[in-house]
Amino acid sequence: MSSADNLTGGRAAPFGLWERSVALRYLRAKRSEGGVALISLISFIGIMLAVAVLIIVMSVMNGFRSELLGRILGFNGHMYVTGGIMMTPERDPMIARLKAIPGVVQVVPIIEAQAMALGQGQISGAIVRGIRPSDLAATKLVSSNIVRGSLEGFGAGEYGGDLIMVGDRLAQNLGVQPGDALTLISPTGGATAFGATPQRKTYTVAGTFSVGMSEYDQTFIYMPLDQAQLFFGRDTGVDFVEMKLTNADDAMALKPEVARIAGPTSVVTDWTEKNASYWGALQVERNVMRLILMLLVAIAAMNIISGLVMLVKNKGRDIAILRTMGAGQGSILRIFFMTGALVGLLGTIAGLILGVLFCTFIGPIQSFVEWATGTQVFNSDVYFLTRVPAKIDWQEVAGITFWSLAMAFVATLPPAWRASRLDPVEALRYE
């Protein structure tokens, strides 16, 4: 096909070679040639940064959710059984039946109570969790993150012995380390004729643990279950039974079976109910942030309109010449559509690469910023985690990419349509 044929009223293939070449030429044109390279560059940078920020923010929020969920459910359980059966001989047979449920990996009887901890001249509130030594060893988030000391000897001796495990941040606040004495005061100790009296006893710190979540590291103390029953006056009872599942999302489906085994006097709850307000607020925040940043991407894409409007105005003579040579309105529309769409495409690709790279190397970036500024940019006392988490959800990244491209393509249509409707006679009248 000849070049003349390529320009005859619509016989050229849509988005053909000559249309693409003209679009690229307009995109590269300098200001002196009637181009808008600077505005195109600004549009490219705006889209790139908007896409990158959206990917980074959503990945960090996904990371927060994943890290918090993993640590909260790793430290706590997925389902809980409470009620009168906790104080009866039927508790142990019930625990055995719960262990036999498919999908249940651990069933742990627990005592959990508040106490005052007295260290080396320091005092702090604490939550003491009584647990069997074998169950603590099976709680990998704790047993695999012992900072100092060890579990050796934990639970050995009469009534479980006097060794306890302390959260690392709590131990630092109290000024104690493995081998030091730590005094605990329980407001509800043994029962007497005058009611419950405070209980005070000195224990030995066997080790300290750090699960990477300050809310737990500065609050919790682990004590052998037998010793906790004695110290808090529980006799042979426990406060609740904690269950861990292969998949936390199966908790709702297993609840009827667990309730049947636990009996009518028991109450069965799962992790979604225990943390309902927290996870609900986190989900709302995530959705709102996504909406705001998607609007930011749309606003950045709108910059393409101003660039194309100026380009159409500057290239009015060229458009008229192309029309008189036989180029159809569709060809003109496609040329200017490709000019603007290419800016959006390149900006989206650059933003995608920048956002993914930033999330991949977010740890070294955090360390560099803290080193360069000399300040802690991520305070674990505020955010509960010791580092900035980032988890890339590729399905979400694909959605962000599609949204950015859609906004860029939509932004190019009005000026491209205006260019296609330009009257050649009016355009050439004053040339």
- pLDDT one-digit tens code per residue, 280-304: 777 787 788 888 888 888 888 887 8
- Residue with the bigger pLDDT between 48 and 33: it is 48
Q: 253-274 pLDDT, tens per residue?
A: 899 999 999 888 889 998 888 7
Q: Inform me whether the pLDDT recorded for 8 exceeds 60.
A: no
pTM of this prediction exceeds 0.75: no
3-state secondary structure of 420: helix
pLDDT for 355 equals: 92
> Which carries the bigger pLDDT value, residue 380 or residue 305?
305
Task: List b or e across 389-426, with b for residues whose CB sees 16 or more CB atoms inside 10 angstroms.
Answer: bbbbbeebbeebbebbbebbbbbbbebbebbbebebee
The answer, yes or no, to whether residue 3 has pLDDT greater than 60, is no
Assess whether pLDDT exceeds 60 at residue 4: no
Q: pLDDT grade, residue 2 (50/70/90)?
A: very low
pLDDT, residue 61, reads 84
Please enumerate in sequence order all residues whose Cβ is within 8 A of that of 224, keeping only pairs 6 or more positions apart, or say none.
130, 131, 132, 133, 154, 155, 159, 160, 161, 163
pLDDT tens for each residue of 368-421: 887 888 777 666 655 556 677 888 888 889 998 999 989 888 888 888 888 777
Which pLDDT does position 1 carry in this prediction? 43
What pLDDT, on the 0 to 100 scale, is given for residue 388? 78
- 182-217 pLDDT, tens digit each: 999 988 765 554 556 778 899 999 999 998 777 889
Confidence of residue 243 (pLDDT cuts 50, 70, 90): very high
Q: Does 178 have pLDDT greater than 90?
A: yes
Neighbouring C-beta atoms of residue 263, cutoff 10 Å: 14
**Predicted confidence band of residue 7 (pLDDT cuts 50, 70, 90):** very low
Mean pLDDT value of segment 29-36: 56
Contact 261, 101 (CB under 8 A): yes
Length of the chain, in residues: 431
The pLDDT value given to residue 424:
67
Greatest mean pLDDT among 30-39, 127-136, 256-265, 389-398 = 127-136
Q: Averaged over 227-254, what is the pLDDT?
A: 89
pLDDT at 24: 74
